Structure 1
Amino acid sequence: MTLQPILLGVTWKPMPSTADAPFDPIRRYAPMVYGPTALYSLGQGAILPLLPALAADLGADLAVAALVSAAIVVGQLAGNIPAGWLVSKAGERRTMLIASLASLVGIAGMLLAPHIALLGLSVLLIGFCASSFAVARHTFMTTRVPYAHRARALALVGGSFRLGGFTGPFVSAGLLALFGDEIASVWFFAVCLLGVAALVAFGPDPEEKALIADRLAARERADARADLDEEDTGEPVTGSIPATERIGVLRTMHRHRGVLARLGAAAASLAAVRSARQAVLPLWGVSIGLDSQTLALVVGVAGAVEFSLFYVSGQVMDRFGRLWAAVPALLLMGAGFGALAFTHDLDSAVLWFGVLALVIGVGNGLSSGILLTLGADVAPERDPAPFLGAWRTLTDGGAALTPLIVSAVTAAASLSVATGLVGVVGLVGAAAFVRYVPRYAPRRD
């Protein structure tokens, strides 16, 4: 009799192996999915650190410059539900082309902005379009990647976004050193957008490739039935996504309000804790007296650790189940923030900051792709785009509100209290995942 470890009532049991090569779906779609995703996030990552400087060049004070920087997050949050509607109506490829062209309009506004209002609106438009790219890729991978490979495939999508966010600031630093002007990074983003548009418009259509693969699989199944002398109905199988009545975004949200209110809230807590590391760690380093170079080194090493683990998360979810990545990730981040809250006045505060920043980085790395994967697991099989738009609105909302809550709690009490609150959110979120993932997204053995 073998003993299987139990995590809070969840059995650890590896996923059954499949006959086909596990990386086939990932390799099949890599050039058309991961390439444009990484290229777009690289361009966006290059301009994000420079938005306050661009605003300051137009005469903005610190408060207004912060508002311009936040406009891209607000735009993405506001764009998720319209993006779900557009993907449902026009399809993934057309949606990405429309978003590319609209983003170029936003780039032109940034380049030509004579005053701060136009710059802010342009950044808002770019954020609004960013949600269309995200929802389109999420929808395609949801409908086309088999469940057994889904977590790895979506972890790679998340890793592609992280790659751009990780390397984009280095690109902008190089462009600043070469040209001495922040506008160079805006032009770089424009070139990346043109590259994305070209890949989407003229590259191999992933939908067509998926249909071909499905037709080949159907033909192999028909041949196998013929070998077994089974009756062939003669009905053609094209492998396309079945046609169905499209019920719209609002009706989709109402129909799935239970999972959105429960599992969606748990997902929002994970997004909130993730976002908190970007708000809390720099503030904490400053508050304990770290110089900018040391602070950047600690945060950079933690970021490198979390980036290196994005594919491990997908492997764990596909082999052992979603909870085996989600719960340890939240426990690590929640415990890391909770412990950090008690170290501010210690003599070894700097050492604890470095250690706990790495713990939080490991937890964040293990969480890569979880929100994408769970959204795909609970989305309706037919026409998932409206649901995914609502799902992403919840998760992006959790991420967007966290810096505001941290700022408010810090002003009202202290940074230690705000950090401890983030830790509590992480631990409560872990409990919510344990309760609702088996209910709404059980494993499919």
Structure 2
Amino acid sequence: MAVTDHPDSPTARDVLWRFGPMIYGPTVLFALGEGAVIPLIPVIAAQLGADVATAALVASALVVGQLCGNIPAGWAVARIGERLTMAIAGTVSLAGVVGLALAPSLGLFALSVLLIGFCAAAFGLARHSFMTTRVPIEFRARALSLLGGTFRLGMFIGPFVAALLLAVLGDEHATIWFFGACLVATVLLVLFGPDPERQFVTSAVALDDATLAEDTGEPVTGSIPTTERVGVLRTMWRYRRVLSRLGAAAASLSAVRSARQVVLPLWGVSIGLDAQTIALVVGISGAIDFALFYASGQVMDRFGRLWAALPAMILMGAGFIALSFTHESGQAAMWFAMFAGVLGVGNGLSSGILLTLGADVAPKDDPAPFLGSWRTLTDAGGAIAPLLVSGITAVASLAIATGAVGAIGLLGALAFVRWVPRFVPRTTP
């Protein structure tokens, strides 16, 4: 089936601009509020009587909630739609915010954190599904990389907002109410903002119908649209091959990303750096990461998904392995700063790749149940990595744990080489 060019085809800028009010704006707001609250969760838990280990457990409830929320979110999106799921998730998150602010006990506070994580999973999956079914494939990687970038922007600025609120008001709960205000704005924007489906999708569908060339009878690749709607469990079984292969590769990338956030601060402490220096190095690494998010989408759209995933995994895998040999070096601080930058470059080059690959292999007519399973796999990889680093460090050393993370990165690179060409064949837009 051939598609001919059309003079009225929308540009990438048109597509991205039209999705701003519905997707990118709410994402920034949600991430901004969440990013302001996350650093203070252990602090407030400690005020409610938690020791260090318990406070860390309470903070991890956010990730547990995300893991638990992905599959139910896929079910919800498939039945009530993306826009309504996003609005409900934002509204229910307000109940979690009230629980955070007013919780009289540590147990209720932890349940509130869990609820916010659950709702964050639903919100994230709904916008992922929305973009999967609405954005033209030739702009998909750039659109989803920008989605990842807007989330990173909110999470990057959020802690600074929290610091400002603490300096002015001196109360940790002010950041919680700030999160609540962000959620209210998010829900209002989702419900009453410009609908990109009215602005873009209808005309895009008409355009596609008008530009389909005559059927030549040649075999085509890809999924065939169908009106059949299946459940989450049946979807997982039907797509078990791609989930167990390409999904496992994606989980390895998520694991390496998550380990980076744990290993770098621990490494700085272990080589004797002060907190200010560690924060500066990690901050510069994060800034490099953020600066490259749109470049990742450009690479994926122009050259193919593998050209972003493979360099990212090789850089991060080799960076961790090289860093593991520098702990006893006389220039340990210099190597730490250099490889933190390398890891930032690798992570930046992978921006949006998990969202894009999930959208590429999801069924086109009903992607939400599949994306629920896909995001559960990737979130599980991110959740397991810090536990793996902690366990190996306790048994052996931080250097060995860092090398193990690097090995996961290189194995993940091989998995991407093996499975991306099979499940996401290179096509020219």
Q: Mark yes or no: TM-score above 0.5.
A: yes
2:77 corresponds to which residue?
87
Among candidates 402, 405, 417, match of residue 419 of structure 1: 402
252-261 or 208-217: bigger deviation = 208-217
Amino acid at match of 1:43: G
Q: Structure 1 CA distance, aligned partners of 2:299 and 2:279? A: 30
Among candidates 159, 168, 174, match of residue 164 of structure 2: 174
- Verify: 1:122 aligned to 2:105, yes or no: no
Measured at CA, do residues 158 and 79 of structure 1 come closer, stay the same or move farther in structure 2, by a change above 3 Å? same
Cα offset for 1:365? 0.3
Structure 1, unaligned runs of 5 or more: 1-15, 231-240
3-state SS in 1 of match to 2:327: coil
- Verify: 1:444 aligned to 2:400, yes or no: no
- Verify: 1:300 aligned to 2:283, yes or no: yes
Amino acid at match of 2:358: G
Contact 2:21/2:190 (CA < 8 Å) preserved in 1? no
Contact 2:268/2:278 (CA < 8 Å) preserved in 1? yes
Q: Structure 1 CA distance, aligned partners of 2:157 and 2:421? A: 37
1:9 corresponds to which residue?
none
Percentage of pairs with the same residue: 64
1:42 corresponds to which residue?
32
1:189 corresponds to which residue?
179
Among candidates 228, 252, 266, match of residue 249 of structure 2: 266
Amino acid at match of 1:156: L
3-state SS in 1 of match to 2:12: coil
2:217 corresponds to which residue?
none
Deviations 1:323-378 (A, max 9, x none): 11100000000010000000000000000000000000000000000000000000
Deviations 1:97-127 (A, max 9, x none): 1111110111111111001000000000000
- Verify: 1:255 aligned to 2:245, yes or no: no
1:145 corresponds to which residue?
135
- Verify: 1:333 aligned to 2:316, yes or no: yes
1:431 corresponds to which residue?
414
Cα offset for 1:218? 6.0
Pairwise mapping of residues 343-382 of structure 1 onto structure 2 (< 5 A)?
Answer: 343-382=326-365
| TM-score, length-scaled by structure 1 | 0.90
Q: Structure 2 CA distance, aligned partners of 1:379 and 1:216? A: 23
Amino acid at match of 2:288: V
Q: Structure 2 CA distance, aligned partners of 1:385 and 1:176? A: 39
Q: Structure 1 CA distance, aligned partners of 2:203 and 2:395? A: 58
Deviations 1:12-32 (A, max 9, x none): xxxx99964232211221221
Pairwise mapping of residues 200-219 of structure 1 onto structure 2 (< 5 A)?
Answer: 200-214=190-204, 217=207
2:102 corresponds to which residue?
112
Amino acid at match of 1:276: A
Q: Structure 2 CA distance, aligned partners of 1:428 and 1:136? A: 31
1:280 corresponds to which residue?
263
Q: Structure 2 CA distance, aligned partners of 1:401 and 1:315? A: 30
2:90 corresponds to which residue?
100
Measured at CA, do residues 166 and 378 of structure 1 come closer, stay the same or move farther in structure 2, by a change above 3 Å? same
Q: Structure 1 CA distance, aligned partners of 2:386 and 2:52? A: 16
Over 4 Å off, 4+ runs: 16-19
1:8 corresponds to which residue?
none
Q: Structure 2 CA distance, aligned partners of 1:372 and 1:317? A: 12
Q: Structure 1 CA distance, aligned partners of 2:225 and 2:385? A: 40
Among candidates 133, 158, 180, match of residue 148 of structure 2: 158
Amino acid at match of 2:298: Q
Measured at CA, do residues 215 and 336 of structure 1 come closer, stay the same or move farther in structure 2, by a change above 3 Å? closer
Number of residue pairs matched by the alignment: 414
1:13 corresponds to which residue?
none
3-state SS in 1 of match to 2:364: coil
Larger radius of gyration: 1
| TM-score, length-scaled by structure 2 | 0.94
Q: Structure 1 CA distance, aligned partners of 2:354 and 2:6? A: 24
Q: Structure 1 CA distance, aligned partners of 2:141 and 2:107? A: 41
